[in-house]
Structure 1
Amino acid sequence: MKRLICYISLSFTMVMGACNKDALNKGPLNLYSDNNVWKDSALISRVVLQAYSGIHCIYDDAGDWMPCDITDEAKTARSFLKCNLVNAGQYTASSGIYDGTWTGTYTNVRGCNTILSHLNDMPLSSSGKDQIKGEVLFLRALNYTDLYFTFGRFPIVDKVLSLSDELTAGRASDDSCVAFMLNDLNAAAALLPESYPAASLGRATKYAALGIKCRLLLNHKDYSGAAAVAKEIIDKGPYSLFPDYGGMFYPENDDNKEVIFNKEYAGDQSNQVHSLDVYDNSSYFTGFSSVVECPTQNLVDQYLMTDGKPWDKSGLFDPAHPYANRDPRFQASIMYDGTTWMKTLMDMKLGSAINPTTSGTTYTGYMLRKFLNPNYIFYGNNTNYQNCIMLRLAEIYLNYAECELKLGNAEGARPYINLLRERVNMPDIPAGQMTWDAYVRERTVELAFEGQRWNDIRRWGTGASMIGITINAVKINEQNGARTYTTVPLENRFFDPKMYYFPIPQDELQKYPAGKVPEQNPGW
């Protein structure tokens, strides 16, 4: 494959970062020879940190489109983004959907394989080598899971390829791909520490490896296996729910006690920044046409009233004040008409200063609040770049609950759902009333916008009812000082079962010689 051949240079620049725009800018590492790099413990440490910088997370997509924009969670306000092709079912293998995921994964895997190939050359103790090996195996598996959840089966590359190697490997079987990732995660978990001192927060731990293993097993529908791993994390891991659901994502609470793994920003580990606060705040604050992600009315309707009932079955619902008495996770996740943000009343009526018709308009009547920093400074230097939580204890609780439900043990699932509800002062689900629908709703609101929704929908087989649907918005009218809120259809989306996995980019397939082109995903 050309995409692999272009990386076989042994120079440090090509090995670790020339094709990665986010590589650490910590010094002229490309001036060092391979021999110098792998003999110097300080340079080795920087190489490993650079491998972390290649991690892809949803914050890296800010300004383009995030995964929520192709689910029922959100609608992008930018008509030119490629996610609109997905929503309309008008994309093909040539559309470049997730092409960066394919190329980025193999760039990052190449870096991981390079480090692993030099372990024996490193002037480190056995324990030091073991930790690096564990970290890099974890990172390789993390990159491959990103690829796997997007495209399904993939070509397995487990070493640094040279011109003498077979460079046109086909896609491995599904079982082989899963086994390979699990082997890496199991080995990583055996080698990595359970925790780190404050100076090393953000590095992969044993429980980070187990957490990604749990996610992989769940999506592979190995419910017994995923439940066992989840229970190990719950029982033995040093984690607990952070008391403030919304504040959990603020920069002052980075690396809090709920976080199992995150991508670190503005530190030695990645030395990166993201633009989420700029692109997803109102143009009133940013000064330019922002607001990329617009939460849907479909998602808003999933948030229960504080009595634990849906809005259309609760006596607490007031159509004149539809956002009052809602699950507190609603206020923490979504900006709505009448809420306060950055000491400003958010007037979401179309044509207001917050929601102007000229730029930065939200199509749905809502804006994203989750993840955003309420103390962000929009002008001048601002180093408050919050980390992106990629795995947290709440997901493990939900994974365990799903497994228990699938295994026929609803009462085993209920306590973990109730722990999440108790965190935000929502009423418990009573004994005997833990249903699948209640679980789906809980997972929907707890993990809203965090990037797992597409995997969930594929695993549940609910693409027709959760993707190929009418996306709704709220229309806000005002007469004599009184406002009315009406749900209106915004967009009819398309779904075909072939869409559960995205087509391998055509540009990648064209790099194979005739007769060795791997098969495309079914239907594409």
Structure 2
Amino acid sequence: MKNMRKIYFLAAALIMTSCDKDFLEKQPLNVVTTDNFYKTSDDAIRAVNAAYKPLMYNGLGQFGLDRFGNYLAGDAVSSGDNADWAQVENLSVTADNGAIRSTWNAAYQGILRANLVLEKVPGITMDATLKKRVLAEASFLRAIYYHYLILLFGDVPLITRQQVNPSEFLVPRNAKEEVYQQIIKDLQSAEAGLPLSYGAADLGRVTQGAAKGFLAKVYLYRKQWPEAAAKAKEVVDSKVYSLFDRYFDNFELATENGKESIFEVQYASFLGGLGNQTNNYDAPRGSGFTLDGGYGYGSPTKFFVNSFAPNDPRLGYSIFRNGDVFQGITYSSSTSPTGYSPRKYVVGKGANIGKSDDPKNYILMRYADLLLIYAEALNESGKTTEAADPINIIHARKDVNIAPIQTGLTQDQMRTAIKQERNFELGLEGHRWFDLVRWGDAATYLKSIGKTNFRDGISELLPIPQAERDINPKLTQNKGY
């Protein structure tokens, strides 16, 4: 994946400079345009690489999906001086919030780049198998950009082709159901065209397992339980993925893109704009854990900490507690307003890792998540006894080693157990808010922990960024904003 990372920046620059066309003058021969770029297989690969890159941006892979998932759910507090994220934490987001605009812009940049690939690459004379793979990668990327847009904003404009004329950018929002149909279609196309795995040079590209896994997740969100269970089972039966013996290997640099990884956003140090800032954002403020001192953002709350059973080792892998030692430095609870700090994406000083040079990838899906999708889909399909098996695989991880789930549970009891297990296994990874909303539990849970700003039927979605509505008056606003 290192080679792919190195050409992210160049590929994105080529694509972005090729999107403007002067219809009045001839372009100089050395200027890259959409007419002269898409000619070779190398061009196709560069173009799809550029479609991956917005996943790395603020608003998505860093300072984005994880913050929305953790702050909105009450699992963490922003604990910094960023007013935009304080609004998110307090459920008081306004339409001029910079964080939501970053997410909107990053997702649509990715969508537009994927659209270019899907429109231009079919006309390139190149190896048929490679062409099929590139088109499948673009289909997958477009699908997950839309998936996250729907989770955050609900109805959004569905754009599936290159826009040239200014009037084509002024489009209304499409119904969520219509967008979901496109997501499913794209993921099915991706599934058909992607390989099970790659060699070292392409490690980190989307695989068939990732397409199946996200398709299972989309079916789950749509309450298509049998379809979700069947698709998750295909991933399990492929035997491509398995759990690490050590839980924290999911978050070690040395084991990135490992056997438990289904899809993760790729970052790298020292490559000009390809590093992740989460290491410094999450490191305790003034702790010395990082070269830049740490910002201390994302402090876990007592509600998150107290939800764990005393003997569950996953809590210790998720947070720093007073007296914990990290790379020779003792953590003090005084550095955090809650007494705790997030641990999973803190990698320390490493090889002179600075503020924007963290090479730690951001995991969008790992095998444990897929197993819990499988368990939930089985239970909701009425197969409650079978639903225990995927959970027990997670409990049997060597350094977790929790007792198997109790036998004889009712469907409702199993449902509760699965909800708890998602929180324990995937804690502070950005899933919690989206789970609470899809379960219909957000209002009850948030009010129970004192988040009284939650407005039922309104707060489940974020506002459409006002700057986008100023540009495009056809964009309506979500209710209550």
Distance in 2, matches of 1:181 and 1:382, equals 32
Distance in 2, matches of 1:428 and 1:273, equals 40
SS at match of 1:156: coil
Question: Relative to 1, partners in 2 of residues 1:18 and 1:243: Cα closer, same or farther, differing over 3 Å?
Answer: farther
- Residue 23 of structure 2 is matched in structure 1 by none
Quick check: 1:52 aligned with 2:52?
A: yes
Quick check: 1:412 aligned with 2:386?
A: yes
Q: For residue 461 of structure 1, what is the amino acid of its counterpart?
A: G
| Structure 1, 258-267 or 185-194: larger mean CA deviation | 258-267
When you count helix as a share of all residues, which structure comes out higher?
2
How far is the alpha carbon of 1:141 from its aligned partner? 0.8
Please list the CA deviations of residues 352-403 of structure 1 after superposition, one character each: whole Å capped at 9, or x if unmatched.
xxx3xxxxxx110001111222563556799761211111111111111112
- Residue 342 of structure 2 is matched in structure 1 by 368
Please list the CA deviations of residues 223-254 of structure 1 after superposition, one character each: whole Å capped at 9, or x if unmatched.
22211111111112400011111122111001
SS at match of 2:190: helix
How far is the alpha carbon of 1:338 from its aligned partner? 2.3
Distance in 2, matches of 1:268 and 1:50, equals 19
- Residue 219 of structure 1 is matched in structure 2 by 221
The one of 396, 402, 405 aligned to 1:429: 405
User: In the TM superposition, what are the counterparts of 1:264-343 in structure 2 within 5 Å?
Assistant: 264-266=266-268, 272-282=274-284, 283-285=286-288, 286=290, 288=293, 290-306=295-311, 327-343=312-328
Conservation of the 8 A alpha-carbon contact between 1:219 and 1:455: no
- Residue 147 of structure 2 is matched in structure 1 by 145
- Residue 332 of structure 2 is matched in structure 1 by 347
Q: For residue 522 of structure 1, what is the amino acid of its counterpart?
A: K
SS at match of 2:419: helix
Please list the CA deviations of residues 45-77 of structure 1 after superposition, one character each: whole Å capped at 9, or x if unmatched.
222212111215755218995531222210111
Conservation of the 8 A alpha-carbon contact between 1:62 and 1:274: no
- Residue 6 of structure 2 is matched in structure 1 by none
Distance in 2, matches of 1:380 and 1:289, equals 10
Quick check: 1:463 aligned with 2:442?
A: yes
The one of 468, 477, 480 aligned to 1:520: 477
The one of 105, 124, 127 aligned to 2:107: 105
- Residue 373 of structure 2 is matched in structure 1 by 399
Conservation of the 8 A alpha-carbon contact between 2:56 and 2:274: no
TM-score w.r.t. length of structure 2: 0.86
Distance in 1, matches of 2:129 and 2:122, equals 13
Question: Relative to 1, partners in 2 of residues 1:14 and 1:102: Cα closer, same or farther, differing over 3 Å?
Answer: farther
Conservation of the 8 A alpha-carbon contact between 1:221 and 1:459: no
Conservation of the 8 A alpha-carbon contact between 2:280 and 2:294: no
- Residue 85 of structure 1 is matched in structure 2 by 87
SS at match of 2:370: helix
Q: CA RMSD in A?
A: 2.9
Please list the CA deviations of residues 263-313 of structure 1 after superposition, one character each: whole Å capped at 9, or x if unmatched.
11128999710122222222121454621110111111121133xxxxxxx
- Residue 190 of structure 1 is matched in structure 2 by 192
Question: Relative to 1, partners in 2 of residues 1:205 and 1:447: Cα closer, same or farther, differing over 3 Å?
Answer: same
Conservation of the 8 A alpha-carbon contact between 1:303 and 1:330: yes
Conservation of the 8 A alpha-carbon contact between 1:294 and 1:366: yes
SS at match of 2:262: strand
Distance in 2, matches of 1:106 and 1:297, equals 36
Structure showing greater radius of gyration is 1
- Residue 502 of structure 1 is matched in structure 2 by 462
How far is the alpha carbon of 1:132 from its aligned partner? 0.8
Distance in 2, matches of 1:63 and 1:289, equals 20
- Residue 420 of structure 2 is matched in structure 1 by 441
When you count strand as a share of all residues, which structure comes out higher?
1
How far is the alpha carbon of 1:87 from its aligned partner? 3.6
Distance in 2, matches of 1:460 and 1:192, equals 31
- Residue 316 of structure 1 is matched in structure 2 by none
Quick check: 1:252 aligned with 2:254?
A: yes
Distance in 2, matches of 1:214 and 1:203, equals 19
- Residue 24 of structure 1 is matched in structure 2 by none
Q: Percent identity?
A: 29
Q: Which runs of 5+ in 2 are unaligned?
A: 1-11, 20-28
Distance in 2, matches of 1:44 and 1:167, equals 25
Q: For residue 411 of structure 1, what is the amino acid of its counterpart?
A: T
Distance in 1, matches of 2:83 and 2:155, equals 27
Q: Which runs of 5+ in 1 are unaligned?
A: 1-11, 20-28, 307-326, 356-361, 472-491
Distance in 2, matches of 1:80 and 1:271, equals 22
Please list the CA deviations of residues 442-471 of structure 1 after superposition, one character each: whole Å capped at 9, or x if unmatched.
110111111111110111111123333436
Distance in 1, matches of 2:66 and 2:248, equals 24
Please list the CA deviations of residues 106-133 of structure 1 after superposition, one character each: whole Å capped at 9, or x if unmatched.
2221111112221233231221211111
User: In the TM superposition, what are the counterparts of 1:16-35 in structure 2 within 5 Å?
Assistant: 16=16, 31-35=31-35
Distance in 1, matches of 2:376 and 2:51, equals 33
Q: For residue 218 of structure 2, what is the amino acid of its counterpart?
A: L
